[in-house]
Amino acid sequence: MSIFLSVAGSCYPRIATTSRPYMCKASPYMYKPFLCKCQWSTPTAVPLLHIVALSLLRPSTLLEFKDFESLSMHILQLNRECLLHLYSFLDKDSRRNLSLTCHHLREVFLEPSLWCLLHFHSPGELKKDNFVLGPFLHHLSISWHSSRVKVCNIEDWMKTSFQREMCRKHERLVSSFLDRVCNTCPKLISLTLSGCGHIMDNDVVSILRSCTTLRSLRLENCVRITDSVLHAIVSYGQTLKTVQVDFCRNVTLEGLQMVELQRPLLQITAERSAGMIPDCPLPIKHPANRQTLTGVRQKILSFS
């Protein structure tokens, strides 16, 4: 793929790509040989950068110029702000793939201001190295919509050995990640945790204590969350504006009423939370009384 950068008519670079020979037929408005040819280490970065190029391209501006080669420049000649703007169009994997092409693009990838929003679709994504966790993170979402969430939601004492083994591989991933967020992301504004069946009250309470700018908190299908989080919202969530506690079966109606009473301006919703059956305590097996059994046995023998 050849890349041409035109800086005419805008403060942002105008990127045009000629996809040869496998993507499409060359446009009549595309130009002749360009100055640089970038070699990509992974094939996924090429189509995505091509999409970015088409989104920034203005044909009306390009038709005004005939000598495009005089305006061309190497991608590495762009300043840091322009490169950050290009990176903002890519997802996490594509940003990482592009950063592996050279040291300069790797430095842009590691820029904390690029990572103000992170969205994860499973706990396994938290172990990857395709993102940067830094002080500029404002919006974080961990949403796991999978059939395996049903296994995580089973009470621990009711799980089989096979189900325990399934949960053992990922049960601490989200909690460990939230510990990192507490230490590195003090400016977090919104947090969404959905399908995180293994997080405990202290994980969310630590977020409320550390992230003093948090405005939105959404907890969905987090079965181990109890009224302790609601008490922490009253105590530490002074900046919170909206709170959602949906399908959290161990949250009670009394806890929700307490929040409404002490924080009347806080918008709180709880779909199905207070109406679900809470976890049952672990059944206690009392040891048999040996003296009682001995007395019963003697009575049986006396009547026999």
The model carries a pTM of: 0.69
The pLDDT tens digits for 128-144 are 999 999 999 999 999 99
**pLDDT tops 50 at residue 10:** no
pLDDT class for 3, splitting at 50, 70, 90?
very low
The pLDDT tens digits for 190-213 are 999 999 989 999 999 999 999 999
Tally DSSP H helices, then E strands, for the chain: 12, 8
Mean pLDDT of 34-62: 44
Q: Which residue has the tokens 């703007």?
A: 85
Mean pLDDT of 68-92: 82
Q: Which residues pair with 2 in a beta bridge?
A: 18, 37
Distance of CA 287 to the CA centre of its chain: 47
Give the Cα-Cα-Cα angle 154, 158, 160 (nearest 5 degrees).
95
More confident residue, 44 or 154: 154
pLDDT of residue 207: 97
pLDDT of residue 70: 53
pLDDT of residue 167: 87
Dist CA 88 CA 207 (whole Å):
27
More confident residue, 22 or 239: 239
Averaged pLDDT score across all residues of the chain: 77
Mean pLDDT of 1-28: 40
Q: Which residue has the tokens 């096979």?
A: 162
142 C-beta neighbours (distance < 10 Å), count:
23
Q: Using only C-alpha atoms, what is the Rg of the chain?
A: 29
**pLDDT tops 50 at residue 31:** no
pLDDT class for 147, splitting at 50, 70, 90?
confident
pLDDT of residue 8: 41
The pLDDT tens digits for 226-283 are 999 999 999 999 999 999 999 998 999 999 999 999 999 999 999 888 777 777 665 5
Dist CA 109 CA 118 (whole Å):
14
3-state helix, strand, coil in the chain (%, to 5): 40, 10, 45
Dist CA 235 CA 233 (whole Å):
6
Domains of the chain: 1-111 (no CATH), 115-279 (3.80.10.10)
Which of helix, strand or coil describes residue 245? Answer: strand
